[in-house]
Copies of this chain bind each other. A is one copy, B any other.
Amino acid sequence: MIFGVDYYPEQWEKKDWDEDLSIMKNMGLTSVRLAEFAWALMEPKEGKFDFSLFDEILEKIHRAGMTAILGTPTATFPPWLYKKHPEIVQISKEGILRTIGTRRQACFSSPAYRKATERIVTAMAKHFGNHPAVVGWQIDNEPGHEGSDLDYSHLALTSFRKWLKTKYKTVANCNKSWGSVFWGMMYNDWDEIPLPASHVASNFNPSMIQDYYRFQSDELISYLSLQANIVRKYSKGRPLTVNLYPSPFLPITDMHKLFGEFDYVSWDNYPVWGNQKDPFPHPLVSATQQYCRGLKNKAFTVMEQISGVQGHDTLGYLPPPGQIGLWLTQAITNGANQIYFFRYRTARFGQEQLCYGILDHGKKLTHKYFELQKKIQEIKEYAEDIADVPYPAEVAILHDIENARSYKHQPLSDGLKFSPVSFAQVGYDIEIATWFAGTNVLNANTHSLPARTEIDFKNYKVITLPLYTMFEDSVIQKLEAYVKEGGTLVLGYRAGIKDQNHWMVEEPVPGRFREMAGVETYQFEAMGEGEKVSIRMGLFPLRGTKFCELLEPITAKPIAYYSDSRKFYKGKPAITLNQYGKGKVYYVGTSLSPETMVLFYRKVLLGAGVKFGFLGSTVEKQYRIGRKYNYEIIMNHSWKPTWAGLKRLQSFETRITKINKK
């Protein structure tokens, strides 16, 4: 277990460096992340390198007995590169040129950018690759963040056309796969294909947009692999990662595929940021941690862990005493084996002068410093014991990048739209997180896995699969086998009806799942923000939101019915249960509201023999297996003291109970 910190020596005077390192060590930090925005410092002119600043600080780090992860500095590039290659920048969907001056400008399809990347990464890897203090590399920084996973530049278009040619061989195949005959958009040549950028009213062909998103993902992955290959060559034995930006999930880039090329997953964990009035609900934070853990099904790193109030030009919620320590415990419990705090000292200048670190703008030690110092001390033994031991779970939720992409451009319901910033549409991600929250709130350890995972589904008693609209045959076959042999599958609405070309199948919903689920549906209603429909499950009142399918059971039995007197479909089934082989398939024809989803999950978990227990809406309990002990971890995510069963938890208390191994 490593505790470290993100450090920017280039932003401070050299005279402070020794003291900085000593303050870190006293706090319990033994590693730093360095250099991820320092291209212009390391290559001040094209081909002229100057690594002296980082040589000097690495020397000090090494002498202090500390280590460093180096970031490749490609998230911004030096102004001289833009002057020479003005075509190097991305263009947003709305046509905004991403000029220099901020970050994440570079076009991943630009040959000039790839060439310049090769030069700086090669020089850096050669220079620092075998330094004894360097223990790993972060490639780039939050690639795809701030909408940079979608580029509408002319270079991107050119590259897209090549990608299509590779995929389809002939334009006729492409036309057929897209259904270009619709609205008479049959292309005769690759160079007739446009960018699916801004439009006035109607959208572009959904099959084309789906391909555009796939292309952009491939483009980003190939760019990061290019770097990884160079670094591996010159810095042997150092593991490589990419740090994901801290959005819920990530609807464009196939992160499962990406991390096939890297050694471990890392991500940046800000449970509250900017002008938020409140932090994310705690199940959403755990959902994201589990998403990261599940990408490679192993321990991950938090490369930026919140230590103070954060924001670019506005701020918001102030975490009370105890909460930043709680978030640290939550990250470790969910499977982090390295934590780097963001950041050591708060920048006095620049766009992040309001991103508060462990220290404020001065060098005075802060309450945050002392709080985290104490927490590290307390949690260290536990953290060391569980680090790298697999996170145990009997339940798994499956997510799928193809459906994330599809729901981004074709959300089906206003209720599945969520755009916290203009370039995001993460309704799919929120729906997945909501389903995850159902078992999280019941305190049943839950894995989050890509649907295409190689893991054997038999490891799980329950698998949940919401919004699996676009299907893959191999996944369906694996699920069939799983259920037949006794597994429990919980399917969400609109399942199984789109093929990989984004065509609707001819069969009624749930398409390829019809036999497994034993149900059909022909009629449905989509609902927006704030709309709700009453449902009855035995004695329990549930609530449907976002989408309501009117279910027509074939072999399945209804277990819940619409009961809303404002709706003509009052009395129609809303949830069904089908026996299939030795197993069970639940089909949920609506999006249950978070409070009532818990009632449904109680039934599912009971039926599948999964242990669970609700301890109140602010309490999270997980269990972990360690080398020496097992552990029960209870966290109170509220500022108010609360009861968790018979235990009284104080404000933001985390209680870790050792359990002797039998």
Q: Knowing A201-B423, A202-B351 touch, does A192 contact B82 (C-beta < 8 A)?
A: yes
A314 and B416 CA atoms in complex are apart in Å by 9
Give which listed residue, B184, B346, B531, contacts A41 with CB less than 8 A.
B184
What is the distance, in angstroms, from A329's C-beta to the closest C-beta of chain B?
19
Q: Knowing A191-B83, A350-B182, A508-B362 touch, does A196 contact B104 (C-beta < 8 A)?
A: no
Q: Knowing A102-B203, A367-B522 touch, does A179 contact B506 (C-beta < 8 A)?
A: no
A356 and B96 CA atoms in complex are apart in Å by 36
Q: Are A366 and B522 in contact (CB under 8 A)?
A: yes
Q: Does A501 contact B (CB under 8 A)?
A: yes
**Chain A to chain B contacts (Cβ below 8 Å), 7 pairs:** A76-B184, A76-B185, A79-B192, A146-B201, A179-B348, A309-B524, A349-B503
Can you add 7 more A-B contacts, CB < 8 Å, to A39-B184, A349-B502? A11-B179, A37-B182, A103-B202, A182-B347, A314-B412, A315-B524, A348-B505
A352 and B98 CA atoms in complex are apart in Å by 33
Contacts of A10 in B (CB 8 A): 181
Closest residue to A146 on the B side, CB-wise?
Answer: B201
Q: Are A526 and B312 in contact (CB under 8 A)?
A: no
Q: Does A275 contact B (CB under 8 A)?
A: yes
Closest residue to A38 on the B side, CB-wise?
Answer: B184
Q: Does A392 contact B (CB under 8 A)?
A: no
Q: Does A45 contact B (CB under 8 A)?
A: yes
Q: Does A594 contact B (CB under 8 A)?
A: no
Contact indicator per residue, chain A 371-390, by CB within 8 Å of chain B (1) or not (0): 00000000000000000000
Q: Are B104 and A201 in contact (CB under 8 A)?
A: yes
Give which listed residue, B101, B206, B421, B568, contacts A353 with CB less than 8 A.
B206
Contacting B at CB under 8 A, from A529-560, are 531, 548
Give which listed residue, B311, B504, B524, contacts A318 with CB less than 8 A.
B524
Contacts of A189 in B (CB 8 A): 80, 83
Contacts of A353 in B (CB 8 A): 206, 502-504
Q: Does A364 contact B (CB under 8 A)?
A: yes
Q: Does A195 contact B (CB under 8 A)?
A: yes
A594 and B613 CA atoms in complex are apart in Å by 49
Q: Are A146 and B200 in contact (CB under 8 A)?
A: yes
Closest residue to A347 on the B side, CB-wise?
Answer: B182
Q: What is the oligomeric copy number?
A: 3
Contact indicator per residue, chain A 505-516, by CB within 8 Å of chain B (1) or not (0): 111100000000
Q: Does A639 contact B (CB under 8 A)?
A: yes
Q: Are A313 and B185 in contact (CB under 8 A)?
A: no
Q: Does A411 contact B (CB under 8 A)?
A: yes
A139 and B432 CA atoms in complex are apart in Å by 47
Contacts of A147 in B (CB 8 A): 200-201
Contact indicator per residue, chain A 330-368, by CB within 8 Å of chain B (1) or not (0): 000000000000000011111111100000111110110
Q: Does A173 contact B (CB under 8 A)?
A: no
Q: Are A146 and B202 in contact (CB under 8 A)?
A: yes
> Which of A198, A208, A502 has most B Cβ within 10 Å?
A198
A234 and B502 CA atoms in complex are apart in Å by 41
Contact indicator per residue, chain A 77-102, by CB within 8 Å of chain B (1) or not (0): 11110110000000010011011111
Q: Knowing A189-B83, A206-B353, A351-B205 touch, does A183 contact B102 (C-beta < 8 A)?
A: yes
Q: Knowing A99-B194, A194-B99 touch, does A184 contact B73 (C-beta < 8 A)?
A: yes
Contacting B at CB under 8 A, from A174-188, are 178-179, 181-188
